[in-house]
Chains A and B, each alone.
Chain A
Amino acid sequence: MLKVKNLHASIEDKEILKGINLEIKPGEVHAIMGPNGSGKSTLSSVIAGREEYEMTEGEMMFEGEDLNELDPEERAHKGVFLSFQYPVEIPGVSVTNFIKTAINSHRKAKGQPDMPANDMLKMIREKSEMLEIDRKFLSRSLNQGFSGGEKKRNEIFQMAMLEPKLSILDETDSGLDIDALKIVANGVNKLRSKDNAVLLITHYQRLLDYIVPDYVHVLVDGKIVKSGGKELAYELEERGYDWVKQETV
């Protein structure tokens, strides 16, 4: 599904990613772990198409298509979804209307008519119940005044509505208490299928207790220095990132 080869990326001429190789197949869950400043969020931004980041070398193919050639919205239409570490507050646009606009933009890109209002409402009800989201919450302005947990839950709600092929969850566990974390993880697990994939980006192993990865990659200084199964996460938790750093020197 996603094939990243020798990916180099910079922001304002500062190289952050220094040759990433990563392949994600349908049905898989990958976790990228790493210390602060290792380039984890940069990787998610580059895949989703954030403008400030420039891909300087390598390639990034999604289902046979060069992602670097596509605008962020086109990547979304192909099935790439990024759950933001810091979701943006947008006063004046309600959660419901935002998601309606997003869904109908996807459908328009595929040459389909707008989703009938009844289907939309039904889907919103289903997905919000799955994530235990209060109905009142849906008429509030997008992310405005939301708690950290509400923001993250709202991201997963959008993911549930848009049904992406590849979901990148950037530090989705940060700012969540354990109950909220369980709800969010449960939601993500329910959305998993043999056709879609998840890329978890996290600093801590905690999230991986609830969303169990097939592969764990350790990112240090812009490179994946170690890959393994889910047991690698426990090892990291126990021995810290310095252990991998030392090992690679």
Chain B
Amino acid sequence: MELKDKLVSSFLAFEENLDPNDNLDTLRNEAIRNFETLGFPGRKDEDWKYTSLNSVLKHDYSVFPKKEDAIEYRDIKKYLIHDIDTYDLVFIDGIYSSHLSQTTHDKIDVCLMSAALNKDKYSAVIENYYNKVAPKTSLNSLNTAFAREGAFIHIHKNTQADKPIQIINFATGNESALMLQPRNLVVVDENSHVQIIERHQSLTDHPVLTNSVTEIFADKRAIVDYYKIQNDKASASLIDNTFINQKSESHVSVHTFSFGGKLTRNNLNFYQNGERIDSTMKGVTIIEDKQHVDHNTLVHHIEPNCESHQDYKGIFDDNSVGVFNGKVVVEKEAQKTNAYQSNNNILASDKATINSKPQLEIFADDVRCSHGCTIGQLDQEALFYLQSRGIPRKEARGLLMYAFANNVLESVKIPEVKKRINKLIASKLEVDLGFNL
């Protein structure tokens, strides 16, 4: 049976097993019908022209994982940012692991989506925000139909979250193939601040397909810094759907570090519903073998005096494929918009591919929109310069690529995250970091 049919026919059984308090019945039913109508996106869809899901849809995924399997902290420690104090939301095969997590309800709510969905205390927030910014695409609908668990984060007015929050989804490989539908909701009230780190990690080589949806609401003057670390095994694929609704004077940044996984697709949309908003999207992609990473971004400038900054860098080796599709829409009312987009790529092998497509739709006449895209090889003169100082070619290449990617890290605000990413980049490029650049 095809995956789509299997998912649609599983829905009835899924619904029967839901918590009787689940209030999303109507929403789920609508969503599964929408998914049934649309099906998985194909290459005929303009947004999926360069990324085919065929190779990841062929597995016989288990949709309902078994009960949580115990994992010891020492086995997963390396996947966490563990040298600083954090709140942790850890999920194992889609199920919350209480003994690996640290939640709070002290001034801020950092807890489970399942709890938020079923408790009256949160019903107002769920009603106001749940599924309110995610567009009704087939993949979002699929997630909405089946989503039961994920992170629920609510930062109340005038509050700064006292430590960063980590959201980590592990796949144990207990199932021969597993599909996950995590669902996160982040609501940051007026004048509040939060930092979030998200990671998906498979612990074995069994195929995993994660179709994740995250909705972020940044109210007036809110600051949200979101870091996505994508360094999964070659058997794991991720479709990350992240949607951000911003109000006046809010600043939201999303950094995406893609170093591993079979196929990774990042759908990242920003909607600016207010003035003097700043939206920042940065990414570093370093992949090899047959890995595939696709960044599909949208910034919707709706009101005047807002800014957006996009800076994506990629290094593609072997037969790897990169896609960057960055769409910027500036509405007629959005005068004085300042939108900046840059996508720079290095092809480290003759067989690697990058498809880069900026899309600007500008309806206002007093705006500054710039975009630039480069695809090239390493600078041969720089390579010779380093070699002539005695640095062997291989290390010289690594050093140059490291320097190329590294400057995206300047805007990372958590030093430990910066350090970790630095190390990941260095190890990917086989650069010996006996120093900090």
Q: Which residues of A contact B (CB under 8 A)?
A: 48-51, 71-73, 75-77, 81-82, 84, 87-88, 90-94, 97-98, 100-102, 104-106, 109, 114, 158, 162
Contacts and interface: CB of A to CB of B under 8 A. Distances in A.
B259 to A, nearest CB: 18
B178 to A, nearest CB: 39
A71 B387 contact: yes
Contact of A92 (B395, B396, B404): B404
Contacts of A71: 387, 392-393
Interface of B: 379-382, 384-393, 395-396, 399-400, 402-404, 406-407, 434-437
Given A51-B380, A72-B384, A84-B385, A92 B390 contact: no
A9 to B, nearest CB: 16
Given A92-B407, A100-B435, A114-B434, A73 B387 contact: yes
A97 B381 CA distance: 19
A-B pairs, 7 with minimum CB distance: A92-B403, A76-B390, A72-B387, A102-B389, A88-B385, A105-B390, A73-B387
A73 B393 contact: yes
Contacts, number: 80
Given A92-B404, A93-B437, A97-B435, A87 B385 contact: yes
B381 A102 contact: no
B406 A92 contact: yes
Contact of A97 (B382, B395, B407, B437): B437
B382 A88 contact: yes
17 contacts: A49-B388, A73-B388, A73-B390, A84-B385, A87-B385, A88-B382, A90-B400, A91-B407, A92-B402, A92-B406, A101-B435, A102-B386, A102-B389, A102-B390, A105-B389, A105-B392, A162-B389
Contacts of B382: 88, 90
A91 B401 CA distance: 11
B384 A51 contact: yes
A104 B404 contact: no
Contacts of B434: 100-101, 104, 114
Given A93-B403, A114-B434, A162 B380 contact: no
B435 A105 contact: no
A111 to B, nearest CB: 14
B368 to A, nearest CB: 24
A87 B388 CA distance: 11
Contacts of A91: 403, 407
B305 to A, nearest CB: 31
Given A84-B385, A114-B434, A162 B406 contact: no
B435 A158 contact: no
A51 B434 CA distance: 29
A34 to B, nearest CB: 22
A109 B388 contact: no
